[in-house]
Amino acid sequence: MTDHASGLDAGAAGSAAPALEVRDLSLRIGGAQILQDVSFAVPAGQIVGVIGPNGAGKTTLFNLVSGVMAPTTGRILLDGVDITGRSVTQRATAGLGRTFQTSSLFPRLPVEENVRLAAQVKEGRALSLAAFPRRGDTASRRALELLEEVGLGHRLGRMAGDLPHGDKRKLEIAMLLATDPSVVLLDEPMAGVASGDVDGLTEVIRSLHRDHGRTVLMVEHHMEVLLGLVERVAVLHFGNLLTIDTPEAVMADPTVQSAYLGETV
């Protein structure tokens, strides 16, 4: 571990609690130590990348933060509040949103209906298609705004399952935004996205924090995209946090180079 490995001083300039913080997070399954004492903080409005070789523990970290799995030890704080014992739904209500590596869309529904359903849930209404959507209701209006925002205004009426990968990812982000999260976890947003769609999706992600002030933590294997987007990079290796620092410092770090030996950084 390097001196700056914890990154816990990252929000120290102001007195406000970091938007997201993990403290000594560990997960043990059977005899396997999947994550070990991982600690870092993400100040509000910052965009941070998580990288690491295959099996390093990136998805596990997201599963722990979003509440899909419970840590063996350690704590997770959202805006300074300990959410470690809370359910996925309670964390979402508290402002934590997540996309998954695998698509979480309703493929046989039109794009606007996917986002309307997410907006409807945010309003405290049921995830029900039978809610008789009216063109002017707040969930429908919000859905149209968000589709414009992510650049899918021209896809209205298309079935979500028929969209190209890049647009599916944008749709997932629009659905996430419908829940109005303050902290967004993006799990490999570029996976399966055609090269021609990468720039557009990158801009959508950039605007999440630049234009909307959201805090973003993202796992991404597409290194060029990640390094062009994030302010800091956390590096996981065999369940340990090697370092969290600026993209330049991380790429120049010999421990990172050796962690990736045999892989292209």
Ligand X SMILES: Nc1ncnc2c1ncn2[C@@H]1O[C@H](COP(=O)(O)OP(=O)(O)OP(=O)(O)O)[C@@H](O)[C@H]1O
CB of 72 to ligand X, least distance (A): 12
According to the binding rule CB under 6 A, does residue 264 interact with ligand X?
no
| Contacts (CB under 6 A) with ligand X, residues 211-230 | none
Q: Give 201's Cβ-side CA count (13 Å radius).
A: 26
According to the binding rule CB under 6 A, does residue 255 interact with ligand X?
no
CB of 77 to ligand X, least distance (A): 21
According to the binding rule CB under 6 A, does residue 57 interact with ligand X?
yes
Torsion over CA of 42, 62, 182 and 230, rounded to 10 degrees? 50
According to the binding rule CB under 6 A, does residue 34 interact with ligand X?
yes
Kindly give, in sequence order, each residue whose CB lies less than 8 Å from that of residue 156, ignoring residues fewer than 6 positions away. 110, 111, 112, 144, 147
Three state DSSP letters for 57-95: CHHHHHHHHHCCCCCCEEEEEECCEECCCCCHHHHHHHC
Distance in angstroms (rounded) separating the CA atoms of residues 240 and 16: 27
**Angle between helices 111-122 and 165-178 in degrees, nearest 10:** 20
Distance in angstroms (rounded) separating the CA atoms of residues 144 and 153: 7
Distance in angstroms (rounded) separating the CA atoms of residues 203 and 208: 9
CB of 24 to ligand X, least distance (A): 18
- Considering only CA atoms, which of 182, 214, 183, 220 is closest in space to residue 201? 220
CB of 93 to ligand X, least distance (A): 25
According to the binding rule CB under 6 A, does residue 32 interact with ligand X?
yes
Exactly one of 12, 16, 29, 129 binds ligand X (CB under 6 A); which one?
29
Give the range of 47-55, 112-120, 127-135, 203-211 binding ligand X by CB under 6 A: 47-55
Exactly one of 10, 25, 56, 244 binds ligand X (CB under 6 A); which one?
56
Closest to ligand X by CB, 18 vs 52, is: 52
Give the range of 56-64, 154-162, 196-204, 257-265 binding ligand X by CB under 6 A: 56-64
CB of 234 to ligand X, least distance (A): 12
According to the binding rule CB under 6 A, does residue 55 interact with ligand X?
yes
Give the range of 27-35, 137-145, 194-202, 256-264 binding ligand X by CB under 6 A: 27-35
Residues that bind ligand X (CB under 6 A): 29, 32, 34, 52, 54-60
